[in-house]
Amino acid sequence: MRNTLNQHGIDNFYVKHDARSKTGFSCQYRDPRFGNKLFTNIKQFRSLGSDINLAKNIAMQLNASIIPLIADEKVKSILNTKKSNKNIKLSSWLSQYTAIQEEKLKSGALKPNTWKVRRGLINRINKAHGKYKLETINTKLVKAFLDTYIKEGKVRSAQAVRSVYIDIFTEAAQAGEVESMFNPAKTTKKPVAKVTKSRLSLSQFEQISAQFDYEPFKLASLLALVTAQRRTDLCLLRKFKGSDWEERLNKYKENPNHFIDTSDAGDSFQKLVKFAPYSYIENDYLYVFQLKTGKLLKIPLALKLNVIDQSIHDVIKLTHHNIKSDFVLHHTACRSKAKIGDAVSPILLTRHFKNARDKTGIKWTCTPASFHEIRSLSERLYREQGIDTRLLCGHSEQKMTDAYNDLRGSDWQIVKI
């Protein structure tokens, strides 16, 4: 650990007490070329005298001269990036940027939902600034654009736009379209968002549940409460493990987006039904595959939420309607494009939860609670019950669980009652 004399922020520069010197200090420079096979006869340390201020200036000059000499080829290529002669417009670069993102999507490096949001933000940025040349876009211009969202109270949107804008210039620098250090969006302050979404209480949940006019949606909400799982994972939940499950999991591990079409960014729930690994029931356990994280959880069906006196097994039993279906949550009547026995889609769950919520007349202090807030409510109720909610929710870190054993799909984590 450095002593207080060395808390100066200058690399390779060291100061120590020395009673023999005129000032009581001695300064040294550690030559970063020492030990590098490209350089020979280099001393590790060189004296810079006892005048600290003078030594600091010398050390900074040495760093500026020596560090570029030992930089690897990738660093050198970035340092030597020249301005593009094309003087490309933002709109033209965004076409190339979009192609880069679509390649990331195909390779599995980008989540479909992330791309869905990012694609919309790219369109907004293009509409606002597409006519400008890349090198003429400045921090003031970007800030003014972010302020239009902040004034409307859309701070989260402002954060997302800023993040995408930063990445746009990062990719442009790598492509040589702008200087390597040119990123006007990065210079803007990150907008700070206050938590505005209301927490859901058990009483409010029960009021909303009573307003559902279609039993599969009501049971989906109840299943979310007793399992603490995400809506998509519950909608994909099957009664049995099929012979195709291992193959689906292996393909997911190779590339989670292997079935994604960049034209729709995998927004179709039917594609998930057809290709994605799914949760299933077997031997008195609920085997949960978390599509968002790739985690595998093994939850006993006997797990009971004491405050409502119902277990996972009790709720799943309620979903049996003597209808032939592979899915635990399935339609019991033809609705729009859905047939009897089809899986209930996450989008419908969200929509009908909102409709039921609005019927209650509950006065929310902040933004009304969404279907996802059931997961938070479940976590809080199970935590009071003494259940390991970090494991139940599939969080990698305890701080994630507090705000509302990371194996990443290599083995099942068992939730203990």
- Report the C-alpha gap between 40 and 56 in whole angstroms: 26
Backbone φ and ψ of 329, nearest 5°: -95, 105
Q: Are residues 279 and 232 in the same domain?
A: yes
Same domain, 162 and 285: no
Q: Are residue 209 and residue 332 in the same domain, yes or no? A: yes
Catalytic residue, candidates 230, 231, 295, 331: 230
Is there a catalytic annotation at residue 230?
Answer: yes
Residue 194 lies in a domain: no
| Residue from 143, 154, 372, 380 carrying the catalytic annotation | 372
C-beta atoms surrounding 2 within 10 Å: 9
For residue 156, indicate whether it is catalytic.
no
Q: In terms of domains, do 160 and 41 share one?
A: no
Domain assignment present for residue 195? The answer is no
Alpha carbon distance 95, 84 (integer Å): 17
| CATH number of the domain where residue 133 is located | 1.10.150.130
**What are the two backbone dihedrals, phi and then psi, of residue 3, each rounded to the nearest 5 degrees?**
-75, 175
Residues 209 and 182 in one domain: no
346-354: long-range contacts at Cβ-Cβ below 8 A with a sequence spacing of 24 or more? 346/231, 346/232, 346/235, 346/269, 347/269, 348/217, 349/217, 349/220, 349/221, 349/231, 349/235, 350/231, 352/212, 352/214, 352/217, 353/208, 353/217, 353/221
Q: Is residue 10 part of a domain?
A: yes
CA atoms within 13 A on the CB side of 333: 6
pTM of the model: 0.69
Cα 298 to chain centroid, rounded: 24
Higher pLDDT, 69 or 179: 179
C-alpha distance from residue 286 to each of 233, 269, 362, 376 (Å): 12, 21, 34, 20
One domain, residues 286 and 405: yes
In this predicted structure, the answer to whether residue 283 has a pLDDT above a threshold of 60 is yes
| Residue 373 belongs to domain spanning | 202-414
Task: Indicate if 352 belongs to the active site.
Answer: no
CATH code assigned at 344: 1.10.443.10
Q: Residue 272 falls within a domain, yes or no?
A: yes
pLDDT single digits (tens) 76-108: 555 555 544 457 999 999 999 999 998 888 888
Model confidence at 349: pLDDT above 90 = yes
Q: Flag whether 299 is in a domain.
A: yes
**How far is the first Cα of the chain from the last one, in angstroms, to the nearest whole number?**
45
Would residue 197 count as lying in a domain? no
- Cα(262)–Cα(260) distance, rounded to whole angstroms? 6
Average pLDDT across the chain, whole number: 87
Q: Is residue 119 annotated as a catalytic residue, yes or no? A: no
149 and 213 share a domain?
no
Whether 79 is covered by a domain: the verdict is no
Same domain assignment for residues 258 and 376 = yes
- Domain co-membership, 259 together with 408: yes
Residue from 231, 357, 375, 390 carrying the catalytic annotation: 375
Integer Cα distance of 143 and 140 in angstroms: 5
Q: What is the per-residue pLDDT for 67? A: 80
Instruction: Specify whether 199 is catalytic.
Output: no
Q: Which of 128, 162, 187 is the last residue of a domain?
A: 187
Which tens digits make up the pLDDT trace of 163-218? 999 999 999 988 889 888 889 999 999 888 776 678 899 999 999 999 999 999 99
Q: Which tops the pLDDT comparison, 120 or 258?
A: 120
Q: Does residue 61 form part of some domain? A: yes
Q: Is the dihedral of CA 220, 222, 227, 231 positive or negative?
A: positive
Give the pLDDT score at 410.
47
Can you tell me the mean pLDDT for 298-306?
96
Asked if 292 is an active-site residue, the reply is yes
Number of domains making up the chain: 3
Structure tokens at 306: 């004491």
Average pLDDT, integer, range 28-37: 87
CA distances from residue 247 to 150, 151, 254, 260, 353 in whole angstroms, order as listed: 46, 49, 11, 17, 34
Same domain, 182 and 214: no
- Residues 141, 210: one domain? no
Report pLDDT for 80.
56
From 17, 140, 190, 292, active-site residue: 292
**Residues 39 and 145 placed together within one structural domain of the fold:** no
